[in-house]
Amino acid sequence: MLKVRKFPSVLLSISTVGVVFAVFAFFSKGKLLFGLVSLAISTIIYLAYLLSYDYKASHLMLTAKKYLDKENADKAADCILESARLNPDEENLVKIFGHQKKNLDAFRQTAVKMYKEIGANDTPFVRFTIASFFYFAGDLKKAKELLNEVPEEKRTIKMVRLLGSTLFDLKDYDKSIEALSTYDPPYLPTNEDELAVVFGLGIAYLSKGDKDKAFEYLVRVETRNSKFGNVSKILASIEDETEKDKSTHTA
C-alpha cells in the first residue's frame, strides 16, 4: 500500500480529465493512440489512489460512520483507530463527523472505548479524535482533559479550535482566549479555521465584558466574511449597547 498521507487532489482531477479525453479520442479519427495513453495514465493514477493510505483511512472513517449510525460503538472505534494509525487526516475527520447531530450516545460509547485503548494508540490526532467525540456527546471535561495533555507545540489549529470551544462552553473564558491566541493570525483570517479562531476570541472577550477587544476581533472576521457566525449582527448589537452606555453616562 502506498504510504501517502494526503493524495494530491490535482492528480485525481487529472485522472478524470484523462478519461474524458480518452473517450473523445476513441471516437476521433487518428486519435486512438492518444486515447489509449490517456486512459492508461488515468488508470495508473486512480489505482495508486486506491492503494494509498489516504484512501484506506478515508474508507475506514466512512465505515465507522455507518457503524455509528447502527449504534455499533465497538466496531466504529476499531475502524477509527485503524484509520488514525494509517493516516491522521483532520480534514477528513471533520468532514465526516463534524456536523453529527444524532446517535450521540453511540458517540459517547465510541469515545469511551477509544479512550480505554489510548495507551497503544496515543498520538495528538487520536486525542483530538476522541476529544471531538466526547465534545459531541456533551462530556466537556473529558474533552478538555484530552486536549490539555497535547503539548502546545503539537496542537494544530483544529485542536486549538476545539479546545477553545470546550473551555468557552465551560465558561473558562480566560483559558479559552489563551488557547485560541496561539493561532491568532497577524493578518485578516484567510480560511475557515482562522475565521473560527478570531471569531472565538471575539466572542470570548465579549463574554468577559471587554467590548472594545471583542469589537476589534469581530471586525476582522466581518471584513473577511460578514456572514460568518452572524458577526455583522453581533457587531451591530455591540455598537448599540455602546451608544446606550454613552447616553446613560452623559445623561
Comparing 231 with 48, the larger pLDDT belongs to 231
Residues 63/13, Cβ–Cβ less than 8 Å: no
In the prediction, which pLDDT does 1 show?
47
CA distance 193 to 143: 19
Interval 61-87: pLDDT, tens? 999 999 998 999 999 999 999 999 888
Q: Please give the average per-residue pLDDT across 144-166, as a whole number.
A: 96
Q: Which residue has the higher pLDDT, 49 or 81?
A: 81
Question: What residue ranges define each of the domains in the chain, with the CATH number in brackets?
Answer: 1-51 (no CATH), 54-146 (no CATH), 151-251 (1.25.40.10)
Cβ neighbours for 143, distance < 8 A, ≥ 6 positions apart: 131, 132, 134, 135, 162, 166
**Alpha helices (H) along the chain:** 9-26, 32-50, 53-69, 73-86, 90-97, 104-116, 124-137, 140-148, 157-169, 173-180, 192-208, 211-224, 231-250
| CA–CA gap between residue 181 and residue 118 (Å, rounded) | 28
Least confident segment among 13-17, 86-90, 205-209, 223-227:
13-17
pLDDT in tens, 193-220: 999 999 999 999 999 999 999 999 999 9
Query: How far from chain centre, in Å, is Cα 135?
Result: 13
Mean pLDDT of the chain: 86
Find the radius of gyration of the CA atoms of the chain.
23
pTM: 0.81
Three cell numbers, residue 167: 473551555
Cell of 121: 494508540
Classify the phi-psi angles of 200: left when phi > 0, otherwise alpha if psi is within -120 to 50, otherwise beta.
alpha
pLDDT at 2 over 50: no
Name the pLDDT band for 135 (thresholds 50, 70, 90).
very high
The overall longest dimension of the chain from CA atoms, in Å, is 88
Distance CA 206, CA 211 (A): 5
pLDDT at 181: 97
* Higher per-residue confidence, 183 vs 25: 183
